[in-house]
Amino acid sequence: MRKNGYTFFTIVNSANLKTGIWNPYSYKDNELDNSLSDFVTIEKIANKGNINLSDFAPIEYKNIPTGELLTFSLQDNSVQEGKYYIIGEQVLLFGTMRAYLGNVLVTPKAKWLEKESPIFYPINSEFVEIIPHDKLPYFWWSYLKSAVFLQQMPTGSGGTRPRVTIDNLKQIPVSVPTLEERIKINNCLIQLAEQSWRNYIICRDIIKTNHQKNNLFNSSFDNNFENHYV
């Protein structure tokens, strides 16, 4: 083949030759014939419920930190009324807006948050639910955040705010370890997730207590000041 004055040669085994039109993007083809839909079911979040069903504020993209962190920000619910999409514990969510690809989370178990099961989490950003056939949400959490997966993502559609559709996601080629290896990875990550969430709640409670003490101190100081000078 010759282009722009340069010549290159390649030697291949004739058994590997494929007939057809030359495709410069052939390297992206999925030789294993495995796509994401072979391993997971992808669904829109269907259930809606009153916000007062949850102790937490609706989860948004902004609540998910950058980096490889198993927790995300859970804020106290200050919304009095309204209906939101609602999900339960150990649900794997994937953000579909192109600017937020890699926003993946697994909702924690109630006991990790020192609460009684069942608990519900309201959602206020564009996510789809990923349901792994192997029931290993934390393995798939790590895989969906990986550069290996994200580099396969299509550009998406939607004008100035492009997003990836469920059909797009289903067709993405994947190459994952054996089931045995996936189980090991998931078990390791779920232990880390439990400890991370327990530490998160401890830290959150300390900050809350400190904030309440400061408010009490400031209120007491203001009252004493007013009584002294009035």
Judge whether 95 lies within some domain: yes
Range of the domain at 197: 33-221
Higher pLDDT: 196 or 223? It is 196
Judge whether 227 lies within some domain: no
| Residue 195: half-sphere exposure toward Cβ, Cα within 13 Å | 5
Judge whether 42 lies within some domain: yes
Give the CATH number of the domain where residue 212 resides: 3.90.220.20
Judge whether 166 lies within some domain: yes
pLDDT, mean over the chain = 82
> What's the whole-number mean pLDDT along residues 136-162?
81
Judge whether 116 lies within some domain: yes
Number of domains making up the chain: 1
Higher pLDDT: 9 or 40? It is 40
pLDDT for residue 221: 41
d(CA 121, CA 60): 11
Nearest to 85 by CA among 47, 54, 113, 50: 47
Judge whether 182 lies within some domain: yes
**Side-by-side strand order, sheet with 48-50:** 48-50, 83-87, 121-123
Judge whether 228 lies within some domain: no
Higher pLDDT: 157 or 56? It is 56
Judge whether 24 lies within some domain: no
